[in-house]
Structure 1
Amino acid sequence: MVLNSWKADLPADLVAKVEKVDEKIKDHLQLIDEQVMYNQQRLLSLFRKHRVAEEDLVGSTGYGFDDMGREKLEAIFADYFKAEDALVRPQLISGTHAIATAFYGVLRPNDTLYYMTGMPYDTIQQVIGIVGDNPKTLHEYDINFDYTPLKENGKVDYDSVKEKLTTDDSIKVVAIQRSRGYATRESFVVDEVREMIEFVKEYAPNAIIFIDNCYGEFSETTEPSFYGADLMAGSLFKNAGAGIAKGGAFLVGRKDLIAQAAAQLYAPGLGKAEGPTWGYQRDFYQGVFMAPHTTGEAIKGAIYTAALLEELGMDVSPKWDAPRTDLVQTVTFGKPEPMIKFCAAIQHNSPMNAFVDPVPSYMDGYEDQVIMASGSFTEGSTIELSSDGPLRPPYCLYIQGGLSYAHVKLAVTAAANEAFYKENK
């Protein structure tokens, strides 16, 4: 049958597994479609409310004064995330940059940045100054860092967190990392984050609650900012840009905290009033409008990936039928060789640089060698299908993104064939 020609060269056993997976996951995919519809309706209503027009897409140059399109876009972000204000700028080049901008904006010497969700991931460790030998770290500015390890089950150790919050008066910012980063623990669903926020408000009511929301936007029908988070960061070349935005990041939260972050990003006295948007505005608007749909496609791809690789005997997290709160799907290989081979197979089934073999190497911001497949149209775009991971035990590959469910399904199935079947012939 022509419609199934993509399966023609696959082993019969793999085809049978794909068909079994298709039947098993179909109801879960329908639930994701319903979630997409809800989030899309909310965004559409905000575009109408703020009277977005063609002239808002033009962008500004020079200082960027009186950029009405920028102001409307930030109002849409603030409204969608139920926050007082937003900073949505091309000058924020990544999620890590947005997070660093927030920290430098609100923290002062002798303040403590405290992570209640365990040690943050590699690039944030570099910002803090606990790894690497970089200038301008938080440590260099006498800003303290502390964290509470998660329990063995990957959940928050509330007893230890309570002790920290009630005995350390220097804690200025309590940080919550929603996604797993390069850890093996589960990402935290929004209901779990809400519980964390409520806990901090009870025991440290004056602390600023910061959410690292990267990979999480539009993955559920609610966001952590709905429940009283003070400041939250995300990237525009992850979920919120839908593969259309070529860069940029955002912060949403309390108006006074956004003002401090803007002063850090630009200069005191300038703040949000400046910041040209050049030719980015059309991509930013279209990207966020498409974000619910594209995020849904990526999540459906992650569900399929988990289900198929489980059928092949792999250790995956989350399981295919577990609640989804971000784009990240992990596969544990236990040793480096099969991890590298599977990552290469993803690269070979990408639209860009499919002829390239990824090689483990050291990257800025990471302590270990990293293997990465990313045949994306935008460099580093993790809303597009990619896979990566540090070469360290337990040798987990982090598969994420996908502009369309169809591409994820084609690529992951072909990668499974290349990694699990061809080697046995």
Structure 2
Amino acid sequence: MMQGLEKREVLVVGGGIAGITAASQLSSLGIKVLLIEKDHFIGGRGARLTCKATSHCMKCNYCLVEDALRQLSETGNIAIKTLTSIHRLKKSKKGFEVTLIENPRVIDPERCTDCGKCLELCPYKGKGAILTAPSANIQPFYSIDPQVCGCRDPRPCEEACPHRAIDFERHQEELSYKCHGIVLATGFTPYDPSGESRYGRGRIKNIITALELEEMLRGDEHFSPLNGTKKAKVAFVQCVGSRNPKIQRDYCSRVCCGYAIRMALRLLESQPDLDITFFYMDVQNFGKDFQKYFFGAKEKLKFIRGLPGDYYQVGKEKVRVSFYHREKAKTVVEDFHLVVLSVGIGPNEETIATLGEPLGVEVDDMGFFVVPQGIAGIVAAGTSTGPMDVAETISSAKASALN
């Protein structure tokens, strides 16, 4: 422990992989930490990824997320507040004065033992009244959304809870907090392809994003959105919302190629008769042992350099895709049972407006936080500063905490 640091307090904004890593790192230095997250659970988008191992480890970094969550649960000196956001903040002589808004958490984390009786009896669980954490390393594992719950007193979950952890009478609170430093770990916003009509989001049934495929694969190790279709054809389309100056996103999101190739191989492992085509501009080589997996993938997947121009619904179960085939020197039309869009990593514009601007933190040409050099007590970490994978995010968060 460094002398004098045990008297300091730091606010970490964002409970994703960067936030929890920074919190653990700061705690190890003897610094008291308050970690706030606006969602029901910590873990962020990283905790919603899936392991992409086939018959062997694919170095997808998912296990690093679980390790970080486990380490956080074993670390003291950290207070965690979910459903909490910054309402006001101002610089003071000794650091920052922050006003927090804490929305009511129906389930008391101090009393909940994760027995699951509330979920068992909830008549609205199919509508999302009771939410489950994306990882068993997140406690409590359950949360209730009172806006979705349609029950009236007496509520079955309240009556069934053996530890009286459920209370619908809790109210929103305004909290005052003083700290010496702030870590901005507010993450990224995935590109929404519905802004470009050609992708057919919401109109064409079997077009999904890579993040949606991640969620589907998490639900069941052997799940496939293809419903067991024999010899189904799948297209992975890269650079959706990246490297496109027409939408003011001419930068590369860097990590999409590696994640998509690993997911394609994972799908192929569970359904070997799949015919998978990978559309790309340039395959970005990032991550440990990526070349090895890439060369192995070229033997199992079809790689086409070029991106599709148009997508159409064909019948009830197929998507027609048109693209320019360089080797054939002509436009080709092909039907697929599933199209997976690799959506790009964008800046979190909400937190840039509500936090970055009041604190005087600048953004770069891509819209991400520039790691502050001249603002004492403020650092930015993880994907709030630009596209990066899980391993890079962890390294960034540790470095930011030390700063």
What is the TM-score with the length of structure 2 in the denominator? Answer: 0.27
Q: Rg larger in 1 or in 2?
A: 2
Report which of the two has the higher share of helix.
1
Scaled by the length of structure 1, what TM-score is found? 0.26
